[in-house]
Amino acid sequence: MIPKPTEFRYLLDSMRLIRSTAAACRSLALAAIGAVLPCVAAWAQTDEPSNASPALVALDRSIRQQSYTVEQVRRFFDAKGGVTSVREQLQVAANGSSAPDFAMTFLGVVGEPTGSALHTRWQQTYARHGRRFATQGSFRVTNLDSADSNYTAHDFGPTVRAGRSARRFVVFPNAIDKSIWLIETDEATAVPLYVAEFDVHVRLLAEVEATLFTPSAATLAPQATSAAVVSDFQAARKAMGNPSELVDPPTGVTGEYQLDRVEVQNDPLNGQWKLTMTYSDGIDQFVVVQSPGTTDSFATLPGKTRGAPVIGRYRDAAMSVLVFWEGGVSFQVAGRGSLQRLDALARTIYRQALHTH
Amino acid sequence: MKTLLDAELPACRAFLAGESTGTDGHAQACGSCAARLRLRRGLAAALRTPPAPPAALRSPDFMAAVHERIVAQGERESAVVAALASPPRPAAPIDAPEPTLAPALARAVASAPRANAFAWSNVRQAVIADIGERRGLRRRASIWFVLASAAALAALLPLVLTPAEPPTIDIAFADLDTAPDGDFTMLRGGIPR
């Protein structure tokens, strides 16, 4: 049946309308996809868990993204109650990772004249251990997921530190054998301006206080270091010339502490190798240090003279250090004072060393 | 004429041995064997046709009378039943030996009344129960033995299958008065004063 001319025109108009509507819908869909895709991609690229504490998230982000220069006072507390305050300058150049480039400079000992014996000793100490003060000497989020599962951050409101607006947080561990942290972070950059470490009895163990903060850093000159970070234990042993006496600590005995860093160091003074394995629960850390080619300096310990294996143990509120020697290797397991589970770890490593040799 | 005693002759013996074959060559010459053959054939014919019983025995009345007599005899107390009802008793009292039984006890044993059937039934039940109990005890003991063996096997099997572990080494701790030198000691306490 052939349609009439009026009906034919009506059909053509309807087809044109449908075609234009479909084109408009297609354009809208493409535009919507184009707008949503970058958002989805950006969301997919962020590896932050949605339920992580905002304070921990901000601290983790500042480590990755914020460059700054800070002058600060680091206070060391000895077992007899004495305090030593050391002034230092820390320059940080963020590189997107959790291990930014940095430079640590010794400025002086509070109350000690420049050039004194104590000043000189501290200067030498900073020249040798300054990097470790920056990486392990204070509060630092090394792994956001682990930190969020092992700690809880509580916001205690605004404050002022180093002339800048800051927020005060208390970070509580979920386990009772770890330190409690009081932190004041810069409101604008989330960089810690004050860090105080307390034990479970609320005794002050360590303190770092910023006196001058600048949210930028000069270009850092590469600092000479004798330490090299490697991927794992096998790479470290290979770098050290494959000594057979080294022990790879079993992963099952470290609990929520995961291997965070493997470092190989050759002492420029005596050419001795040292392997440092750092374990972290996201914030707290302990180290297992192995130094091959050393003599048994603990041979005269009580009990050791009878031939029985003995671990030398030093423990105060601030640190636990366990040392033993086996097969020409000096072992040291060290962490914060309340972390008494290090005793069991040291014993496990010692048994492993006895079976290895 | 030869008699049956002459059958020991070899020809007669051979004829008797092959008699079943039906050859009667020798019987034509030997009178004894011919008579023997003749008697055999007559007896066979007589056996093929059994004699008819007398008419009196074949009457239904005779068979009914026999049947009635059997039933009547069965209804009466037979001698066997009477003998079973009254088992023979010893003719004289039991002569118990003097050293083992006192005379009074021996007389009591000899003149003891027989237990009735109900008492013996109880004894029988008790014996059966005792045997059953012992059998149950043996069964339970067997089950416990099997279970204990299985438990011991299960306990020993891991020890046999798992490789021998090195003996546990006792490691002692010796507390130190001062912190050993090291990076971590420096990190926490600074330089010693």
Quick one: closest CA in A to B174, which residue? Answer: A312
Instruction: For domain A54-214, say whether CATH 3.30.1360.20 is its number.
Output: no
Q: pLDDT tens digit string along A58-105?
A: 999 999 999 999 999 999 988 777 899 999 999 999 888 888 888 899
What is the model's pLDDT at position A210?
A: 96
- Residues of chain A with C-beta less than 8 angstroms from the C-beta of B174: 298, 301-304, 310-313
CA distances from A104 to A71, A74, A221, A317, B36 (A): 10, 12, 11, 27, 149
How far apart are alpha carbons A217 and A99 in whole angstroms?
16
**Phi then psi dihedrals of residue A177, to 5 deg:** -95, 25
In this complex, do A125 and B184 lie within 8 Å of one another by their Cβ atoms?
A: no
Q: Hey, do A54-214 and A227-356 end up sharing a CATH topology, with the first three levels equal?
A: no
Residue A288: closest CA among A301, A272, A275: A275
Residue A318, classified by CB atoms within 10 Å of its CB into exposed (0-12), middle (13-18) or buried (19+), is buried
Q: Is A350 on the interface with B (CB under 8 A)?
A: yes
CA–CA distance, A307 with A326 (Å, rounded to integer): 12
B185 to chain A nearest CA, in Å? 8
Instruction: Give dist(CA B100, CA B84) in Å, integer.
Output: 33
Residues of chain B with pLDDT under 70: 1-8, 19-24, 77-101, 109, 112-116, 162-167, 193
In this predicted complex, what is the ipTM? 0.75
CA distance linking residue B134 with residue B152, whole number of Å: 26
Total Cβ atoms within 10 A of residue A158: 11
Among A281, A23, A4, smallest CA distance to A144 is for A281
Tell me whether residues A311 and B171 touch, CB distance under 8 A. Answer: yes
The domain spans of chain A are 54-214, 227-356
pLDDT score for B33: 86
Place of tokens 């860090």: A195
DSSP 8-state assignment for residue A251: G
Identity of the residue in B166, B182, B192 whose CB atom sits nearest the CB atom of A321: B182
Output the six-digit token pair for A335.
Answer: 């962490």
CB distance from B182 to chain A under 8 Å? yes
Q: Which residue of B has its CA nearest to A354?
A: B169
Q: Looking at chain B from residue 159 to 178, which residues have their Cβ under 8 Å from any Cβ of chain A? A: 166, 169-178
Mean pLDDT of A228-257: 87
CB spacing of A321 vs B185 below 8 angstroms: yes
For the CA atoms of B24, B27, B29, B33, the dihedral, rounded to the nearest 10 degrees, stands at 160
pTM for the model stands at 0.60
Please check whether residue A246 is in contact with residue A215, taking contact to mean a CB–CB distance below 8 angstroms.
Answer: no
Architecture in CATH of A227-356: 2-Layer Sandwich (3.30)
Question: What is the residue type of A285?
Answer: Q
Q: Which residues of B22-35 are buried (b: 16+ CB within 10 A; e: fewer)?
A: eeeebbeebebbee
Q: How crowded is residue A220: how many other Cβ atoms within 10 Å of its Cβ?
A: 14
Helix (H, G, I), strand (E, B) or coil at A137: coil
CA-based nearest residue to A321, from B8, B153, B188: B188
Which residues make beta-bridge pairs with A88? A72, A106
- What tokens were used for A268? 């420029």
> With an 8 Å Cβ cutoff, are A314 and B180 in contact?
yes
The tokens describing B86, both together, are: 């009254």
Tell me how far apart the alpha carbons of residues A105 and A89 are, in angstroms, rounded to a whole number.
Answer: 5
> Which region holds residue A241: left if phi is over 0, alpha if psi is between -120 and 50, else beta?
left
- Mind giving me the DSSP string for A160-205? EETTEEEEEEEEEESSTTS-EEEEEEETTT--EEEEEEE-TT--EE
d(CA A107, CA B190): 15
Residue-wise pLDDT for A146-191, tens only, equals 999 999 999 999 999 999 999 999 999 998 889 999 999 999 999 9
pLDDT (0 to 100) of residue A11 = 41
Give the pLDDT confidence of B21-56 residue by residue, as tens digits.
555 678 888 888 888 888 888 888 888 877 777 888
Instruction: Identify the weakest region by mean pLDDT among A30-39, A288-297, B79-88.
Output: A30-39
Of B173, B176, B186, nearest to A125 by CB-CB distance is B186
**β-bridge pairing A164-173 and A180-186:** antiparallel
pLDDT at A220 over 80: no
CB-closest option in A78, A316, A332 to B182: A332
Dihedral sign of CA atoms A294, A297, A300, A306 in order = negative
